[in-house]
């Protein structure tokens, strides 16, 4: 009873189920008390009336016998005593007409101990004695008083109450069991509503089955309608946002990226190349393109441009194992560019694309067309101007040599630590096996300076010196070692941070290789489950491209990560944002916008509109929006005005020494 009474002390926390149980118990208790009181009172009145009638009948019978007897005192006493001893009487008394007792017998025994004292106190019977006149011939001899003993009646009343209590208790237990069953069935829709409400809090707009109960049906229908409206609004906003983004960042004729978007992408790639360059730039030019429109018509020229575009796209898709990512754009009426990252064999790529272009030109032999291209590796100190100028100069050389139609600048970086794949594999695996690694933390801050999280980057000790991930990442990807790197990163994270009391949120990027390996994901999550305090401070970063291409896998990972208390974020977010299905159901902590969109944002109205739309969609479902790779204070102010919540700043320790949080 005290446990239920304590519920009233926590009114703000009491649940509907507890209130209903409390109501059921109150009804049962009131029913029990009222039933016992009413039944006991009725029985008491009944017993009292019956006992009074018995007193009258016994008094009349005994008085008749005494009236017919000889009025000898001894005989009178013997008859009254015999009657008293054979019945259950409290008192039998014969008084003369003056009121003086002639014969008097009174019960002097003890009360029956089986009846509780409190029950005797509350339910003691007060029954009037039976009174009859005893005559002697035609004269009155005396008055007879007969009073039955009430303890036997009280015992019967107590037994009746006991049986009533046991019967009612059995009924109450049965009622509670039945109530529990029906409550569970009745309140099951409410559990669904709670689950749906929690999902809304986690930015997941799910629907629940509409129950049969009218009131619950209205509630669930309203919640479902709310989820549907939110989901529809988000999808519509994403669709409009994608339409605007595509129009502002792509060439209308070919569907390729336009000059402005490509230059922003190139700037981002050059920033990454500062650490270790592994990219290359191809520049293509269609010679005498205008002859098609002069000799044929615009339709045929457009058809040729689209076929040329398809050739470039097909070439990149067929050789995607030769680089980690690629970008293609139309820079002008006749010029096209392809940027590839993490490649080391542009001569082979140049030969392949040259052959494909020759096959394409064979179908347009009636026109005097030519496709010339030039390519060059990206160097560490390259700026956009120097790189484009170098490739453009190569293209001019190719144009002066019609027989070649391609110019390759084999300026590959020659300062690699190791010369072959086996040496790279051995060095990376040795660093992981010996725990020869360190971490670099990139603080993610709000525009007010508040630390939102620390973005972690793993550095390896190679040949006695620490190198950032950009230096060895290409080789780790080629050698299928990314999953091992992720595992080593998690173990190092636990080793360094698990015992700290001043933990902030730490973001760790997981590679595609890890996410595609169920055993690797299970190993990481199971390992972190042993450290629940740390797990709650971890945010897993996953690239947007992975979320799009492996959505079902990514969604399952989000559910698993959140179940252990961790958070999930998307990074390198940009062109494929609208392709992430049901983003509102993933429960993402934040999204990190690709530096391509934030670079020189102050001078790009189209990108500003696009990013403002992303912020609006993300904030509507409670997702924090962060900018990557934005160092200019002017750009940061613009991003803040667009609705961004923060940005990724420079690492706290350029030498990757001394881990801090």
Highest mean pLDDT among 81-95, 405-419, 442-456: 442-456
Domain at 278-409: CATH architecture: 2-Layer Sandwich (3.30)
Helix (H, G, I), strand (E, B) or coil at 618: helix
Q: List Cα–Cα distances, 93 to 78, 139, 234, 309, in angstroms.
A: 13, 19, 99, 129
**pLDDT at res. 645:** 92
Region for residue 67 given its phi and psi (left: phi exceeds 0; alpha: psi -120 to 50; beta: otherwise) = alpha
Residues contacting residue 419 through CB under 8 Å, at least 6 positions apart: none
Q: Token pair 């101007």 is at which residue?
A: 385
Where do you find CATH 3.20.20.450 in the chain? 421-656
**pLDDT at res. 568:** 93
User: Where residue 653 falls among pLDDT bands split at 50, 70, 90?
Assistant: low
Q: Token pair 């999808």 is at which residue?
A: 235
**pLDDT at res. 444:** 92
Token code pair at residue 299: 């339709």
Are 140 and 179 in contact, with CB atoms under 8 Å apart? no
Q: How many CA atoms lie within 13 A of 605 on its CB side?
A: 0
**pLDDT at res. 592:** 92
Q: How far apart are CA 316 and CA 327, in angstroms?
A: 9
Strands of the 325-330 sheet, one edge to the other: 325-330, 335-341, 280-287, 370-377, 406-409
> Has residue 49 got a pLDDT over 60?
yes
Closest to 614 (Cα-Cα) out of 571, 644, 585, 580: 644
* pLDDT, average across residues 570-595: 83
What mean pLDDT is reported for the chain?
80
Residues contacting residue 444 through CB under 8 Å, at least 6 positions apart: 451, 452, 453, 454, 455, 507, 626, 646, 647, 648, 649
CA angle 392, 395, 399 (to 5 degrees): 140
Where do you find CATH 3.30.70.270 in the chain? 278-409
The DSSP symbol for 460 reads E
Token code pair at residue 564: 């252990």
Q: How far apart are CA 506 and CA 341, in angstroms?
A: 27
Q: How far apart are CA 635 and CA 642, in angstroms?
A: 10
Helix, strand, coil percentages in the chain from 3-state DSSP, rounded to 5 = 55, 20, 25
Strand pairing report for 325-330 and 335-341:
antiparallel
Where do you find CATH 3.30.450 in the chain? 16-173
**pLDDT at res. 402:** 62
Per cent of the chain over pLDDT 70 is 88
Are 567 and 624 in contact, with CB atoms under 8 Å apart? no
> Has residue 522 got a pLDDT over 70?
yes
> Has residue 533 got a pLDDT over 70?
yes
The DSSP symbol for 7 reads G
> Has residue 145 got a pLDDT over 80?
yes
**Phi, psi at 144, each rounded to 5°:** -105, 135
Token code pair at residue 246: 């595509």
Instruction: Give the right CATH number for 16-173 from 3.40.50, 3.30.70, 1.25.10, 3.30.450.
Output: 3.30.450
User: In terms of DSSP H, where are the helices of 530-578?
Assistant: 532-535, 544-549, 551-563
* pLDDT, average across residues 73-91: 79
Burial, 425: exposed, middle or buried (Cβ in 10 Å; 0-12, 13-18, 19+)? middle
**pLDDT at res. 7:** 42
Are 596 and 627 in contact, with CB atoms under 8 Å apart? no
* pLDDT, average across residues 360-382: 83
**Phi, psi at 285, each rounded to 5°:** -135, 130
* pLDDT, average across residues 263-273: 79
- Count of CB atoms situated within 10 Å of the CB of 336: 24
* pLDDT, average across residues 435-457: 89
Q: What is the dihedral of CA 634, 638, 639, 641, to 10 degrees?
A: 140
Q: How far apart are CA 494 and CA 510, in angstroms?
A: 16
* pLDDT, average across residues 374-378: 88
E strand or H helix at 528, and its extent? helix 518-529
Q: List Cα–Cα distances, 633 to 270, 449, 637, 651, in angstroms.
A: 20, 13, 6, 17
Q: How far apart are CA 584 and CA 230, in angstroms?
A: 9
Token code pair at residue 6: 């304590």
Token code pair at residue 109: 């025994």
Number of residues assigned to the chain: 661
Q: How far apart are CA 508 and CA 486, in angstroms?
A: 9
- Count of CB atoms situated within 10 Å of the CB of 432: 20
Burial, 366: exposed, middle or buried (Cβ in 10 Å; 0-12, 13-18, 19+)? exposed
User: Where residue 120 falls among pLDDT bands split at 50, 70, 90?
Assistant: low
Closest to 254 (Cα-Cα) out of 194, 202, 332: 332
Q: How far apart are CA 535 and CA 466, in angstroms?
A: 27
Cα 64 from chain centre: 92
Each residue's pLDDT tens digit, 602-630: 887 878 888 888 888 888 778 899 998 88
* pLDDT, average across residues 436-447: 88
pTM reported for the whole predicted model: 0.64
User: Where residue 10 falls among pLDDT bands split at 50, 70, 90?
Assistant: very low
Helix (H, G, I), strand (E, B) or coil at 416: coil
Domain at 421-656: CATH architecture: Alpha-Beta Barrel (3.20)
Closest to 599 (Cα-Cα) out of 262, 335, 339, 248: 262
> Has residue 552 got a pLDDT over 80?
yes
Each residue's pLDDT tens digit, 339-351: 988 777 788 888 8
User: Where residue 111 falls among pLDDT bands split at 50, 70, 90?
Assistant: low
Q: How far apart are CA 580 and CA 592, in angstroms?
A: 14
User: Where residue 293 falls among pLDDT bands split at 50, 70, 90?
Assistant: low
Q: Token pair 């009181």 is at which residue?
A: 37
Highest mean pLDDT among 10-24, 194-208, 351-365, 480-494: 480-494
**pLDDT at res. 381:** 81
Residues contacting residue 264 through CB under 8 Å, at least 6 positions apart: 596, 597, 599, 600, 604, 607
Token code pair at residue 35: 């039933």
């Amino acid at each position: 009873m005290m446990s239920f009474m304590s519920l009233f002390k926590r009114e703000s926390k009491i649940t509907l189920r507890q209130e209903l149980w409390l109501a059921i118990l109150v009804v049962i208790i009131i029913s029990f008390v009222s039933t016992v009181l009413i039944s006991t009172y009725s029985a008491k009145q009944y017993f009292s009336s019956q006992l009074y009638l018995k007193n009258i009948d016994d008094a009349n019978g005994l008085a008749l016998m005494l009236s017919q007897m000889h009025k000898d005192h001894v005989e009178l006493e013997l008859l009254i005593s015999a009657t008293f001893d054979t019945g259950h009487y409290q008192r039998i008394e014969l008084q003369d007409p003056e009121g003086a007792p002639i014969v008097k017998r009174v019960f002097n025994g003890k009360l029956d101990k089986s009846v509780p004292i409190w029950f005797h106190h509350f339910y003691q019977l007060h029954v009037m004695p039976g009174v009859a006149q005893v005559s002697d011939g035609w004269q009155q001899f005396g008055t007879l008083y007969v009073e039955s003993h009430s303890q036997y009646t009280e015992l019967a009343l107590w037994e009746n109450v006991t049986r009533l209590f046991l019967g009612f208790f059995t009924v109450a237990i049965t009622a509670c069991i039945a109530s529990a069953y029906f409550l569970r069935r009745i309140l099951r829709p409410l559990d669904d509503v709670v689950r749906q409400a929690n999902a809304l809090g986690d930015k997941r707009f799910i629907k629940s089955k509409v129950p049969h109960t009218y009131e619950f049906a209205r509630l669930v229908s309203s919640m479902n309608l709310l989820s549907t409206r939110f989901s529809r609004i988000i999808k519509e906003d994403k669709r409009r946002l994608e339409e605007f983004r595509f129009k502002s960042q792509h060439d209308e004729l070919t569907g390729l990226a336009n000059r402005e978007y490509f230059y922003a992408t190139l700037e981002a790639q050059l920033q990454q190349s500062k650490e270790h360059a592994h990219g290359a730039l191809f520049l293509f030019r269609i010679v005498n393109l205008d002859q098609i429109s002069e000799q044929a018509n615009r339709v045929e020229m457009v058809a040729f441009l689209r076929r040329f575009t398809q050739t470039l796209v097909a070439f990149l898709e067929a050789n995607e194992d030769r680089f980690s990512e690629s970008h293609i754009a139309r820079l002008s009426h006749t010029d096209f560019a392809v940027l590839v990252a993490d490649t080391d064999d542009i001569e082979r790529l140049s030969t392949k694309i040259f052959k494909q272009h020759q096959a394409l030109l064979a179908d347009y032999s009636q026109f005097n067309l030519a496709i010339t291209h030039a390519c060059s590796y990206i160097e560490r100190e390259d700026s956009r101007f120097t790189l484009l100028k170098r490739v453009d100069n190569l293209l001019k050389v190719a144009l002066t040599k019609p027989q070649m139609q391609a110019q390759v600048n084999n300026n590959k970086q020659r300062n690699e630590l190791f010369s072959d794949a086996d040496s790279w594999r051995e060095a990376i695996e040795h660093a992981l096996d010996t725990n020869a690694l360190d971490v670099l933390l990139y603080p993610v801050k709000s525009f007010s300076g508040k630390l939102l999280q620390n973005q972690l980057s793993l550095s390896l000790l190679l040949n006695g010196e620490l190198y950032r991930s950009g230096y060895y990442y290409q080789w780790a990807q080629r050698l299928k070692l990314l999953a091992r790197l992720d595992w080593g990163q998690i173990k190092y994270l636990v080793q360094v941070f698990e015992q700290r009391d001043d933990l902030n949120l730490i973001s760790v990027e997981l590679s595609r290789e890890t996410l595609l390996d169920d055993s690797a994901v299970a190993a990481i999550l199971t390992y972190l489950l042993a450290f629940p305090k740390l797990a709650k401070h971890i945010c897993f970063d996953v690239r947007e491209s992975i979320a799009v291409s492996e959505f079902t896998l990514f969604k399952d990972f989000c559910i698993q990560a959140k179940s252990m208390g961790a958070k999930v974020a998307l990074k390198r977010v940009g062109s494929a944002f609208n392709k992430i299905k049901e983003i509102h159901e993933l429960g993402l902590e934040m999204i990190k916008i690709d530096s391509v969109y934030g670079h020189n944002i102050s001078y790009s109205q189209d990108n500003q509109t696009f990013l403002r739309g992303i912020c609006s969609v993300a904030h509507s479902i409670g997702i924090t929006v962060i900018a990557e790779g934005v160092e200019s204070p002017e750009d940061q102010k613009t991003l803040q005005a667009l609705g961004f919540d923060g940005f990724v700043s420079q690492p706290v320790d350029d030498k990757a020494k001394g881990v801090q949080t």
